[in-house]
Amino acid sequence: PSIYRHFGSEDGFKTAVLQHYEDKYLQAFQQCFCRDVSFDAARDEYISLLVKGVQHHNKGCLMFQTREAASEMGPQTNACCEAIYTRLSSHVEKWLTGAEARGEITIMVSMSAAVFMVLQTASLVRNAFSEGLMTDQIATLARLHLDSCITS
């Protein structure tokens, strides 16, 4: 199709969509990890962003969907998706490391596991919505999920 001519290929088109998604949607998540606020305030903002986002887009995060479908994606799309995931993971790790250094939290698992738990909260929220839980229940569940490996 003619749209692919603009992007070079279907792979180029999907890569452009992911880059736009990062710029438009994931920036808010990255910013909440970089604000000069308490760990609890940033955690609650993150959960609120997840709940609001999934409430309006019940399929969840495009980046996670793309990672899950990696075998169906082209090499350019996969490389872009992994680069976005790495950047987001880096923001989460810096946030956790800073909060731990300030004595706000104790991380009870390896840093990589803690980062994974934070990012996978998006999947938890998506699944909770699909099961019919209410937003306040989902926010509580997300906090409990994070509290299972990070105490504040």
Give the model's pLDDT for residue 7.
84
Please give the pLDDT value at position 42.
94
Average pLDDT, integer, range 94-116: 96
**For the segment 115-144, what is each residue's pLDDT rounded down to a tens digit?**
999 999 999 999 999 999 999 999 999 999
CB 35 within 8 A of CB 42: yes
**Which contacts qualify for 128-137: CB closer than 8 Å, 24 or more apart?**
129/54, 129/55, 129/58, 130/58, 135/51, 135/55
Closest by alpha carbon to 88, among 40, 1, 35, 26? 26
Query: What pLDDT does 78 receive?
Result: 93
pLDDT of the residue at 102: 95
Q: Grade residue 65 by pLDDT with cuts at 50, 70 and 90.
A: confident
pLDDT tens, residue by residue, 27-36:
888 888 988 8
CA angle 41, 47, 22 (to 5 degrees): 105
The helix/strand/coil state of 151 is strand
Among the listed residues 47, 22, 43, 23, the one whose alpha carbon sits nearest the alpha carbon of residue 33: 43
pLDDT > 90? residue 76: yes
- pLDDT of 71 above 70: yes
Take residue 49 and report the two structure tokens written for it: 């962003």
DSSP H or E run through 106: strand 106-107
For position 1, what pLDDT does the model report?
58
